Amino acid sequence: MRAVLDQLRSSRFEGLLAEKEPMSRHCSLKVGGAAALLAVPEDMDGLLMLLGTLRDNDVPWLIIGGGTNVMFAGDEYGGCVVRLGEGFSSTVVRKNGEWEIGAACVTAKVLAAAVRKGFSGLQFAAGIPGTVGGAVRMNAGTHEGDFSGICSEVQIAEKDQVQWVGRENLEFSYRKLKLPSGSVITGIRVVLTPEDPRLVANEMERVQEKRNKTQPLGVPSAGCWFLNPEGDSAGRLIDAAGMKGERIGGAEVSDIHANFLVNRSEAKPEDFLALAACVKNAVYERFGVDLEEEVQVVGG
């Protein structure tokens, strides 16, 4: 990592470079080991310089958005965690209703702007935490829709190239966007429809209210831990298997929504891994369904 740091500093890389950065600070679960390096490029040149330097030095890396769907399980991730900086958080609204949104934009702020400016199309995403880049990467969504339904183009940086890829060439599926390894989503284009701001706000409030009633929003979590199996809901299965309130160390199966594993107090990544294994086991024993993680677990 020393060579990477030296090279970046001598090339006047602008942006944060933090060694041994605790990932608990960057993840909504508030747990996780350190990353050997956290790098936050401020603009596209910085990102391409960073990716090139990591590649030249054979240093593994991964990208996080808002850290709302990831857990760093080991004591230390030996590679570089990349997070996009300020230069990726602007939104341009064009006359034809096209919004070009930087990947580092906080989803909730984009939704607030859609209400202010009177544009419809993003209501389904009310309450989705994290950044737009992360939401597209995970094809985040609710029963009301997901990001695959609104993206007309996604901007992808790969090696030393940056290109806009049209919807027809993007392979979205449930909670997934298939991308070539080593690529980074840096922005999206969506086409929204002008609408009375009050109607947009009401619709978002309705979606958010439902979430407030059915999800544990005041406690640290990574959202739903497991993907829904085809035609069913992981939350319903975990609940019916009697796992609500089950606790290992500081990690607990929420008694509001059973697919949320929450950090009750000073949980460790091992607590979550053990609790998730317990939940999977209980659901398999009871229903013969093998749950698959939605949360991305790094190391461990």
Footprint on this chain of ligand EPU (rule: CB under 6 A): 142-143, 214, 223-224, 227-228, 233-236, 239, 257-259, 294
Q: Which is nearer to ligand EPU, 131 or 259 (CB)?
A: 259
Burial of 70 (0-12, 13-18, 19+ CB in 10 A): buried
Q: Which is nearer to ligand EPU, 151 or 258 (CB)?
A: 258
Produce one character per residue of 240-249: b if its CB has 16 or more CB atoms within 10 Å, e if not. ebebbebebb
Q: End-to-end CA distance of the chain: give it in Å, rounded.
A: 21
Q: Which is nearer to ligand EPU, 91 or 233 (CB)?
A: 233
Residue whose beta carbon is closest to ligand EPU: 223
Q: How far apart are CB 207 and ligand EPU at their closest, in Å? A: 8
Q: Which is nearer to ligand EPU, 190 or 224 (CB)?
A: 224
Q: How far apart are CB 244 and ligand EPU at their closest, in Å? A: 6
Q: How far apart are CB 252 and ligand EPU at their closest, in Å? A: 13
Please tell me what DSSP assigns to residue 106.
B
State which H helix or E strand residue 136 sits in: helix 132-137
Compute the 3-state secondary structure of the chain and give helix, strand, coil in percent, each to the nearest 5.
Answer: 35, 30, 35
Q: How far apart are CB 17 and ligand EPU at their closest, in Å? A: 31
Q: Which is nearer to ligand EPU, 155 or 228 (CB)?
A: 228
Q: How far apart are CB 46 and ligand EPU at their closest, in Å? A: 30
Q: How far apart are CB 223 and ligand EPU at their closest, in Å? A: 3
Q: Which is nearer to ligand EPU, 53 or 228 (CB)?
A: 228
Please give the distance of CA 276 from its chain centroid, rounded to a whole number.
19
> Cα–Cα distance between 68 and 128 in angstroms, integer?
9
CB of 195 closer than 8 Å to CB of 119: yes
